[in-house]
DNA sequence: GCGAGGTAGTTGCGCGCGCAACTATTCACG
DNA sequence: CGTGAATAGTTGCGCGCGCAACTACCTCGC
């Protein structure tokens, strides 16, 4: 795959630059998600995944979304989404309803209570993301990150 | 906390630039770790966390490390490390030994088999990290990422 | 129409982790 | 010394997730 004379051959240890770029992301991700999760839990009794479901529902037409679409958005499998929605139904923030055209399908739909908690949770989340992450970067750095993610995600797949 | 006239007030939705920087990291992290985990599992029957423990042990003097140091390094709690090491002991790659000076303490120490599997797993991991992540970024982008992580991690705590 | 294959969602199972409580040891201070 | 606080590690418990198997439904070809 890589040339056998490649100076950055597969087996070579990571250079300091590579290490900083790679392990830095791991550390930042771990720390930021942990803080955001704790804040969301303390303030609203939600996990970040649950919040993201509510968010997606809130932005969708009629506040309802097919389960599979939810899974794609939240970076979970279908089974994960099933149980995530289960919990949100138990909490009263979401209800299931059948898809008219498709007897297999099911929508998750935001309830009134869900919309309320979403409004509050959105503030918490945005504040957290800015405090823990975006606020520590200037515009150019944010731009550079966005470009980097596109390259990593785009080049194949 | 933030000025009440701040144009990027807490409640405002994320700008496209902010969104690209933030959600991009989430997507990249999810995808890369998933691929690396699968590769490590298929090739050596290890999780990435297990690999990282072996790696840290391999770099340490006498190939042994205190449990708490392990926890700090692997971004896990102490209880997580206890059971992670349990599994590595079951696999025969690590053994526990008591700390001489401190009756409470315990070292995890790499076995001969552990050192072997580490050598192979290291190649797999490095190749994966380069294929999925570093190889898709040029030197400047890696540098920029490293700087960004320092700023995010450094500014408080 | 009807049977084969694909798709949407759910369920059984096991894994890996964090939290909090617990044990054992060490340290600080009178 | 002796006692209380701190520290190292382990354990009970529950949660959230993925995988694979399963059900129910749709679709396409004949």
Q: What is the pLDDT of residues B22-32, one digit of tens each?
A: 989 988 888 88
B103 CA, D2 C1': Å apart: 20
Q: Poorest-confidence range of A38-42, A49-53, B18-22, B90-94?
A: A38-42
Report the alpha-carbon distance of residue A81 to residue A86 in Å, rounded.
8
pLDDT at A5: 45
Asked if A143 is an interface residue toward chain B (Cβ–Cβ < 8 A), one would say: yes
Q: Which of residues 44-103 of B touch A (CB under 8 A)?
A: 75
* Cβ separation B141–A143 shorter than 8 A: no
Nearest alpha carbon to residue B142 among A81, A109, A19: A19
Model pTM score: 0.84
The minimum CA-CA distance between A105 and chain B, rounded to whole Å, is 27
pLDDT value at residue A156: 52
CB of B155 within 8 A of CB of A26? no
Order of all β-strands in the sheet with A94-98: A64-66, A106-110, A94-98
Residues with CB under 7 A from strand D: A 47, 49, 75-80, 83-84, 87, 102-104; B 38, 66-68, 78-79, 81-83, 85-86, 96, 99, 102, 104-107
Residues 6+ apart with CB under 8 A from A132: A31, A32, A35, A36, B152
pLDDT reported for residue B96: 95
The b-or-e profile of B30-55 (16+ CB within 10 A means b, else e) is: ebbbebbbebbeeebebebbbbbbbb
Query: How far: A86 CA to C8 C1' (Å)?
Result: 16
Confidence of residue B11 (pLDDT cuts 50, 70, 90): low
Identify the pLDDT of residue A34: 83
Distance B120 CA to D28 C1' (A): 49
Instruction: State yes or no: pLDDT of A154 exceeds 70.
Output: yes
In chain A, % helix, strand, coil (3-state, to 5) comes to: 70, 10, 25
Nearest-Cα residue of chain A relative to residue B127: A10
Count of beta carbons in the 10 Å neighbourhood of residue B87: 15
Question: Which pLDDT score is estimated for B16?
Answer: 95
Per-residue pLDDT at B10 exceeds 70: no
pLDDT at site B30: 85
The CB-side HSE value for B10 (13 A sphere, CA atoms) comes to 15
Pick A29 or B112 by higher pLDDT: B112
The yes-or-no verdict on residue A11 having pLDDT over 50 is yes
Percent of chain A with pLDDT over 90: 69
Residue A96 β-bridge partners: A108
Cβ partners under 8 Å of residue B31, min gap 6: A153, B132
Residue A157 has pLDDT above 60, yes or no: no
What mean pLDDT is predicted for residues A44-65?
A: 94
Instruction: Indicate whether B8 pLDDT > 80.
Output: no
Chain A contact for B5 (CB, 8 A cutoff): no
pLDDT tens-digit series, residues B95-108: 999 998 899 999 99
Question: Tell me, what's the pLDDT at A13?
Answer: 85
- pLDDT digit string (tens) for A80-131? 999 999 999 999 999 999 998 899 999 999 999 999 999 999 999 999 999 9
* Spatial contact of A94 and A57, defined as CB atoms under 8 Å apart: yes
d(Cα A22, Cα A140) in Å, to the nearest integer?
20
Asked if residue A106 lies in contact with residue A94, where contact means CB atoms within 8 angstroms, the answer is no
Residues with CB under 7 A from strand C: A 38, 66-68, 78-79, 81-83, 85-86, 96, 99, 102, 104-107; B 47, 49, 75-80, 83-84, 87, 102-104
């Amino acid at each position: 795959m890589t040339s056998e004379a490649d100076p950055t051959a597969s087996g070579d240890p990571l250079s300091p630059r590579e290490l900083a770029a790679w392990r830095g992301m791991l550390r930042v991700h771990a720390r930021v998600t942990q803080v955001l999760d704790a804040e969301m839990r303390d303030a609203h009794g939600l996990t970040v995944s649950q919040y993201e479901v509510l968010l997606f529902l809130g932005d969708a037409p009629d506040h309802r979304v097919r389960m599979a679409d939810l899974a794609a958005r939240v970076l979970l499998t279908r089974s994960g989404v099933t149980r995530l929605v289960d919990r949100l139904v138990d909490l009263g923030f979401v209800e299931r309803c059948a898809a008219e055209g498709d007897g297999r399908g099911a929508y998750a739909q935001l309830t009134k209570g869900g919309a309320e908690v979403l409004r509050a949770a959105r503030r918490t989340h945005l504040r957290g993301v800015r405090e823990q992450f975006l606020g520590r970067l200037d515009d150019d750095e944010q731009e550079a990150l966005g470009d980097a993610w596109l390259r990593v995600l785009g080049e194949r797949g």
